[in-house]
Amino acid sequence: MIHENFDVSAFGLGPLYPAQSRFVHSNADMALFLGGRGSGKSVALTCRVIREACRNPGGAIGLFAPTFKQLTRVTEKMLLEMCEAWARNTGWPILTKHYKADHVFVINGCEVFAQSYDRVSRCRGLNLGAALIDECEVARDPEHVVAVISGAVRSTSGRPGAMSFATTPRGMRGMVKVFANNVRDGVPGWQMVTARSSDNVHLGDPAAFVERMRRTMSKARFSEEVLARIARPTAVVWPEFARAKHVVPFHYSGEPIAYAIDWGYSRPFASCWALVQSDGDPDRLVCFWEFAENDTPENVFLETIFDHARSLDREPFLAAADRAIPRCNQALMRKWPGSTIKTMKTKTEQDVWRGVEIVRAALDPAVGPPRIAFADQLLNTTSDRGVIWSVEQLRRRSRDGALLDEREPNTESSHATDAIRYLFSAFLGRRMDDGGTVYSGFEGGIGTTARRLTRRR
């Protein structure tokens, strides 16, 4: 039988590297493949899907992915390609039926039910011999998702139901924490296999891939998403910030400027940032002015920002703000027609934690010095929600004692930090998402935009 001697070459795959092989051939009832980005987690999990299907002839197993798009574009596509390769290489089909509309695959007489777990309640009532879950830590509450699916996994053919997981760590939380605790305590039937991105010999050029990730991530994120290390999250959102490293002497002397704005009446916030460029060093942004007075009318708030720009005799190359008050954003567009006015319109731009990670990468890049700094004169502010204080005090939310990848909303420290998120998401977000170089200063970078505006003036 296939699961007795699992040769992946018939599926059109190269030899499994050691971590993949240990996971695919594991007989543990609870197995986790904890791997970095590009480490071949989904390939290993798909191989295990076929292995579990062959161990449950006449039964059923479940295959779960985070979203419907990932299910159809990645997980199901990979499973189909492997089954088609088997038929070509062996001369007989292992996939006997495929009910495309119902997302059901019949492999070696076993039905494989595929679905996303964003609506996990739909799996209630199923009777599964095994369940395999891809990217389990993407879920908002991984333990809840696994608990619901676990209730559908029952003993079949005289053997206990098995559950297999593949994911990239997101800190000591969710199922990673559950596995780490059970493996540490030596609980029988639990196995965790760890692999770095560079361990995947089939990645093409692992060194180039890792180096690109290193240059576009913070040290903390690189440690998790490339080295697959389990980090314990801190209560503060940006523990990377340190006054000794990020607060610098600065006097404005004509550099291009950008504004970060959080609209509102009761607690508005605005800050001005200078783009510091020098030969041989990456560009960096330095915050040197802020406005954080409570109960300020919109027209007064706007005039304060405009007066500050006039005092510098410059127009900003960029102003980033929330989309919450369109009339204020329109006022910026009318006042500065030659500037880029960026509001957070798309769902991606509004993702709070994405913005948090972009700022983290600027505070503590995996390569090179920090790209974000604060002028030491801001330490003398009389505001009780100044930008430096807010960066230091912003806290994570917690649920049942576990820290989440969410920041506490609507606190005194959230307004200044939200403005920072808008600014960095505006001109770093797309380059970060595309794997570009942080603060490159080349085409499409913030340095180019600033120089273009300078030439126009």
Yes or no: say if 259 and 270 are a contact pair by the CB < 8 Å rule. yes
Whether residue 297 sits in one domain with residue 221:
no
Using 50, 70 and 90 to split pLDDT, how confident is the model at 4?
very low
Instruction: Please state, in angstroms and rounded to a whole number, the distance separating the CA atoms of residues 96 and 99.
Output: 10
For residues 161 and 211, the model is more confident at 211
Same domain, 330 and 360: yes
Q: What is the DSSP letter of 37?
A: T
* Closest to 76 (Cα-Cα) out of 109, 110, 112, 40: 112
- Of 225, 260, 281, the residue at which a domain comes to its end is 225
Q: For residue 431, is pLDDT > 60?
A: no
Specify if 412 maps to a domain: yes
The reply to whether 234 falls in a domain is no
Instruction: Flag the least confident range among 200-209, 240-249, 311-320.
Output: 200-209
- Domain with 323, as residue range(s), is 243-456
Q: Which two tokens stand for residue 290?
A: 């802020």
* Number of domains the chain contains: 2
> Is residue 1 in a domain?
no
Query: Are 194 and 254 contained in the same domain?
Result: no
Structure tokens at 110: 């076993």
pLDDT for 122 equals 81
Region 75-101: mean pLDDT is 92
Confidence of residue 351 (pLDDT cuts 50, 70, 90): confident
Same domain, 170 and 316: no
CATH number at residue 54: 3.40.50.300
Residue owning tokens 């170089």: 437
| Domain contains 211 | yes
Residues 206 and 272 in one domain: no
Confidence of residue 442 (pLDDT cuts 50, 70, 90): very low
**Would you say residue 233 lies in a domain?**
no
Question: Looking at the structure, do residues 28 and 163 belong to the same domain, yes or no?
Answer: yes
Tell me which of 32-41, 139-148, 193-202, 251-260 is least confident: 139-148
Q: Looking at the structure, do residues 289 and 381 belong to the same domain, yes or no?
A: yes
Q: What is the pLDDT of residue 155?
A: 67
Q: Let me know if residue 394 belongs to a domain.
A: yes
Residue 448's CATH number: 3.30.420.280
pLDDT mean across residues, the chain: 85
Q: What angle do CA 188, 189, 193 make, to 5 degrees?
A: 115
Q: 209 and 111, same structural domain?
A: yes
Judge if 143 and 273 occupy the same domain: no
Question: Which residues, in sequence order, are bridge partners of residue 114?
Answer: 63
Give the other-Cβ count within 10 Å of 224's Cβ. 20
Lowest-pLDDT choice from 147-151, 399-403, 416-420: 399-403
The whole-number average pLDDT for the span 54-82 is 91
At position 348, the amino acid (one-letter code) is T
Residue 91, CA atoms < 13 Å, CB-side half-sphere: 0
pLDDT at residue 309, rounded to an integer: 95
pLDDT score at 99:
93
290 and 418 part of one domain: yes
Q: Does 407 lie in the same domain as 280?
A: yes
Contact 103, 113 (CB under 8 A): yes
In a domain, 401, yes or no: yes
Please indicate, yes or no, whether residues 209 and 263 belong to a single structural domain of this protein: no
**pLDDT reading at 441 higher than 60:** no
Out of 194, 225, 256, pick the residue that ends a domain: 225
Q: Is the pLDDT of residue 10 over 90?
A: no
**By the 8 A CB rule, do 64 and 133 touch?**
yes
- Where does the pLDDT of residue 56 fall: very low under 50, low under 70, confident under 90, or very high at 90 and above? confident
| Domain membership flag for residue 230 | no
pLDDT tens for each residue of 230-241: 877 778 889 899
